[in-house]
């Protein structure tokens, strides 16, 4: 006896509820998988070039710019990276173009 004797109509209701949540998570997983497949397709179509072509990569941390800041010469860096860089040098790390220090302050107002 023991465990079986404790079964009650309330447990039946809970079992139904669990079936529903199981079903929902199954649907969600299927949707997520379909979405991931779609994302991969979109990426394959949109980005035939290698990711590190220097256009959308901050050369200071070598990853996608966070809170990107575009400096006067048109190069893009993370706000944090380029601000740190400017403590040492006001020349663009990519082209040595002059960096307008005022442009780096924009991030403060929006954050
Ligand atoms: Zn960076
Ligand atoms: Zn530059």
pLDDT tens digits, residue range 49-95? 444 454 689 999 999 999 999 999 999 999 999 999 999 999 999 99
pLDDT tens digits, residue range 95-106? 999 998 887 765
Residues with Cβ–ion distance below 5 A, ligand 1: 58, 60-61, 78, 81
| Cα–Cα distances in angstroms (integers) from residue 60 to residues 3, 16, 26, 31, in the given order | 63, 55, 42, 37
Give distance in angstroms: CA of 76 to centre of ligand 2: 8
Give distance in angstroms: CA of 105 to centre of ligand 2: 18
Residues with Cβ–ion distance below 5 A, ligand 2: 73, 75, 92, 94-95, 97
Looking at the CA of 80, which ligand is closest? 1
- Better pLDDT: 2 or 73: 73
- Better pLDDT: 50 or 37: 37
Looking at the CA of 58, which ligand is closest? 1
Give distance in angstroms: CA of 97 to centre of ligand 2: 5
| Cα–Cα distances in angstroms (integers) from residue 67 to residues 2, 35, 99, 105, 110, in the given order | 60, 26, 17, 12, 10
pTM summary value: 0.47
């Amino acid at each position: 006896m023991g465990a079986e004797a404790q079964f009650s109509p309330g447990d039946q209701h809970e079992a139904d509820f669990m079936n529903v949540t199981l079903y929902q998570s199954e649907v969600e997983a299927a949707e997520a998988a379909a979405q991931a497949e779609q994302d991969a397709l979109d990426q394959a179509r949109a980005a035939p070039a290698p990711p590190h072509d220097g256009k959308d990569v901050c050369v200071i941390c070598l990853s996608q710019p966070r809170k990107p800041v575009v400096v006067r010469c048109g190069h893009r860096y993370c706000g944090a990276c380029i601000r740190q860089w400017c403590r040492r040098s006001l020349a663009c790390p990519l082209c040595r173009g002059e960096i307008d220090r005022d442009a780096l302050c924009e991030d403060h107002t929006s954050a």
